[in-house]
Amino acid sequence: MRLRGRGTRAAPASGVAAGDARRLAPPGRNPFVHELRLSALQKAQVAFMTLTLFPIRLLVAAFMMLLAWPFALVASLGPAEKEPEQPLALWRRVVDLLLKAIMRTMWFAGGFHHVVVKGQRALPTEAAILTLAPHSSYFDAIPVTMTMSSIVMKAESRDIPIWGTLIRYIRPVFVSRSDQDSRRKTVEEIRRRAQSGGKWPQIMIFPEGTCTNRTCLITFKPGAFIPGVPVQPVVLRYPNKLDTITWTWRGPRALEILWLTLCQFHNRVEIEFLPVYSPSEEEKRNPALYASNVRHVMAE
């Protein structure tokens, strides 16, 4: 009796295709926790770096952001909703290159000396939407500044001094929390841009919608999938021994993450572009199914 009782209780958990469930959302576990424990040696290293390289890195990174600001400001003047002119004016292309270089230098100063890129980024006409996962930190801005793709983000970010100007430069799709109708408008705007035939920059979307500690992929929000256009999945990895990157609601705070990351001599990051995923007729009709299938591909 006791054995059978245990067997039936265990059934639901093991019934959800064990292998799959582990890479997707493990039942009863919560990936929004990040416990960071430093060994004595790692603490000593952080102390040493805090007194030596950290202030220099912080200064250079801050300077790069300030340097980017006037360029982004000039380039983002004018109505944000207007379609970008085609082809881009020469001066805009120069500004784009400059900003990419400045941002790359900023990440370099932060210890991201080498960004490993695997696979090939699709053209805007092949995939207007890139879905990035797992989302675990503000360092996930690295692929955004490398490509200057648009992103979907909350409207309040527009008003952050300096960083807000850089954000406006990439022509994000803003989501307003106060606007009741905001979700529908966001999806419509994503659809409009996705169907522009490459006139708008690609949109990078973090379909998980929030940061996790990368142990699994949480359920994808359907926004990226409702337009029913092909998407290119992009997998992000930070294969570092000590994870100073992860920024979840329970764990180190934003400034602590910045400090500890800048105190690591070298921070590894990997961006893998997977093949473009074209939805079937059924997936076009059913965004939740489309989202779930792309999530499975990415979990692999």
Ligand X SMILES: *[C@@H]1O[C@H](CO)[C@@H](O)[C@H](O)[C@H]1NC(C)=O
Q: Which is nearer to ligand X, 196 or 215 (CB)?
A: 215
Q: Which is nearer to ligand X, 57 or 135 (CB)?
A: 135
Stretch that binds ligand X, among 27-35, 133-141, 179-187, 225-233 (CB under 6 A): 27-35
136 binds ligand X, rule: CB under 6 A: no
Q: How many residues interact with ligand X (rule CB under 6 A)?
A: 8
Q: Which is nearer to ligand X, 35 or 282 (CB)?
A: 35
Query: Of 164-223, which residues contact ligand X (CB under 6 A)?
Result: 213, 215
Alpha-carbon distance of 183 to 223, in angstroms, equals 8
Q: Which is nearer to ligand X, 29 or 184 (CB)?
A: 29
| Shortest CB 240 distance to ligand X, Å | 12
Query: Of 29-48, which residues contact ligand X (CB under 6 A)?
Result: 29-31, 33-35
Closest CA to 130 of 82, 170, 100, 160: 170
Stretch that binds ligand X, among 24-32, 53-61, 101-109, 160-168 (CB under 6 A): 24-32
| Shortest CB 34 distance to ligand X, Å | 5
> Site residues (CB under 6 A) for ligand X?
29-31, 33-35, 213, 215
